[in-house]
Structure 1
């Protein structure tokens, strides 16, 4: 390929990129890289081609091109080529490459093989299912995976799911004086077997409702009162907001994540712990 032809391809690839025509841009970069895989400038071309496929959620291609991009990136300096490869390798289930990618980025992980199961602390993830967006709390298992620890109100989503999230925060939440990032969901990696139920509970005191939530948590299940759900517009959701746990008294809906028989047993136990002030009704499966 002549230099003039290469220059024209590069210009077309960049123009397509600016227009967010990701597939066309990636194809043009790949055509260019087929002839010039190891030029100094090709480091950026590999990265952009891999990133375009990430935007397209074509994880096999993002993985393939991401390995080439990372192979040309400096290690231990926070180069984003490693982060994007870590995401793609995680989704592809190549844990050896994922571990090496995080190390290449500069993140220390415990020695081991297979899925990364460690504690990266709490964060929030903005779920996006068929245009329905909901911010939920997660416990991060690795730099890009987290377990959902809220009971989502979005249909089809469940407590205990394992999701893959992006690396760039889109908003902040403050809880107990600690600021945590809000990431966008990229993929539902592992579904949860726990169904979502709804029940109407009546609690005379705030401590009564707190006791119900704690009881379900102690048994590895989830419980979310309607009073804890806050509605924000899309713009506000990407800002910084202080989260305060709101627990009200009286009758209200509570979303539960548990097998129905277990939920019924725990509700009966909770209601029976006091003579008056606690009751429940209308337990029903919703998802």
Structure 2
């Protein structure tokens, strides 16, 4: 069963103010388990970071259908939480305070739903970009989730901790490489490094969905009433990524590989009837994929 839940939270600094922050989370009831998405805020990006290099007229027509501008995009950031009664698993840790001021709000969302950092048993990273990894550490460079096992794809870990990455990733992403290396160094001695197809926990399997980053992982959650795929940024928006998954996107580090990954992933999701949870998808990010006249469409479950 899919439902919508809204959380109203005000930090202590705001209690004397009429301003409050509204948090929305999608909830997927999985029988003996449940999946929530928690808002980490949103990003503010120049449009060409995602849309650059696409066929201009066709791209503008697609993006326009969704009521979006093409010069500035503000994608939401949805951190997925899975609880099965034994494990409390976060997929990614959000941005933390050091990336963009509109993001890094996960702690407020957790507080609003009464979840403490000590309760989190696992933090599983899809990839090493700032909005997914930089919330790993607190202001003292200690892990935010002190009791959690941390896991990331082995290829992803190797890429971001390779000293040469900062020299080859490109000037626009140099800070990404520096920030990832610093954070991963803190957990290097005990982080679990996942292989494609590895069972992370019973019913939870890592799937290599490379292209956005070299070792990007998505995760399949099976064994419940409906199969679920937690996508990270393998499908990074609800417009061109669905309608033209074969188009290269400026947000991907290997654009051709990422496009091939999207095409294959969307086809598998539809064929297997999977519900998806997407980090940058709207309405909390939980929904289904439907075939359209050309390509696909995202149908949020509200």
Structure 2 length normalisation: TM-score?
0.23
Larger radius of gyration: 1
Provide TM-score, normalisation by structure 1: 0.24
